Structure 1
Amino acid sequence: MVNYISPELSYNPHLKKLFLIFGLFLILYGLALNIIAGKSLRKFGHEQPQDRLTQPDRLVEEGIFSCMRHPAIFGNIFIAIGFAFATQNIIVILFSGWLAAAGLYFIMNIEERETLTYFKDDYCQFIKSRPPFSFSIKCLLEGIKALKR
């Protein structure tokens, strides 16, 4: 059935299934990045153990943060793009693009600046040694391994 208000990307059932599987993979990868980043911040981001996720008082360079600076925001971008593929709805695809752009803007113009103000020279060195994002599965596994220690 054709939906003129919000058309789908494809009407081919095999292609729709492939897009759905790929979208679900991206959503799960994004959720994994978010969970690992949150747990890493809670475990390594404080001098004293915390019961909940709060602003870190020390720069986290362990685990998933050993290979990228912003795993949680990167995960949110994957979730948005995953929903776009899974639904195959043109409006969702356009919205996810804007959501990804907003996430990147937030990182580069707000979070980086605040973190630089808080951690100063340590964060300058951190920026030089790591990219903002990494597609590497090895990075995800490093994050999981660090949480088990």
Structure 2
Amino acid sequence: MLAGGPALSIYFDLLYFKQLFLNPLYHLLTLPIGLFLAMLAFRAAAAGGKELARRGRQKRSTPRLETDSLVTTGIYSHMRHPMLFGLALLPLALACILGSPTFILVVAPLETLFVIVMVLTFEERECRKKFGAAYDDYARRVPAVCFKRECLMKLFSKKV
């Protein structure tokens, strides 16, 4: 996805959007937007990752990147998949950094949809398998993602 999407998009850009794609002013507009989106994506990943690192490993025997307890504090008290925001923003951020109209309008939305479906399908299944009824109760109380201003401010804030 990281190489194929941009390559295919640039190919179509040079065929159908050549004037726009080769316009430096267009890139001066899309580049800062892409960098901003990338910054938000990494902040979301940091917020979710740090909370998991603080609260998700109670036993010393648990491998470094895994959890042994259900985390429902911090950003996880607002949404079940905060890092999904970061993953979902990355294709659009890359598309804007490259300044590819095809990537921005077609490929990035498809990649974002793919990421969302994969995370919600496989991660939800794993969490239910690992934490059972506790996760089911948590899932009833807390949405998978939250678009409320307070949630997004907490997710994207510099303090994590």
Q: With the length of structure 1 as denominator, give the TM-score of the two structures.
A: 0.78
Structure 2 partner of 1:139:
154
Identity in percent:
24
CA distance in 1, matches of 2:16, 2:64: 38
Say which of 100, 105, 124 aligns to 2:112: 100
CA distance in 2, matches of 1:21, 1:142: 19
Structure 2 partner of 1:76:
87
- More displaced stretch, 117-126 vs 87-96: 87-96
8 Å contact 1:26–1:81 — kept in the other structure?
yes
- Inter-CA distance 25–76: structure 2 relative to 1 (3 Å threshold): same
Structure 2 partner of 1:117:
129
- Inter-CA distance 126–69: structure 2 relative to 1 (3 Å threshold): same
Q: CA offsets, 1:14-56, max 9 Å, x none?
A: 5543322222111100011112211211111011368974221
- Inter-CA distance 57–51: structure 2 relative to 1 (3 Å threshold): closer
8 Å contact 2:43–2:86 — kept in the other structure?
yes
Structure 2 partner of 1:56:
67
**Alignment root-mean-square deviation, CA:** 2.8
- More displaced stretch, 132-141 vs 59-68: 132-141
Q: CA offsets, 1:69-101, max 9 Å, x none?
A: 111122011121111122221343333223212
Report deviation, 1:60.
0.6
- In the alignment, does 2:14 pair up with 1:4? yes
5+ residue gaps, structure 2, are: 1-12
- Inter-CA distance 84–39: structure 2 relative to 1 (3 Å threshold): same
Between Structure 1 and Structure 2, how many residues are aligned? 143
Report deviation, 1:142.
7.5
5+ residue gaps, structure 1, are: none
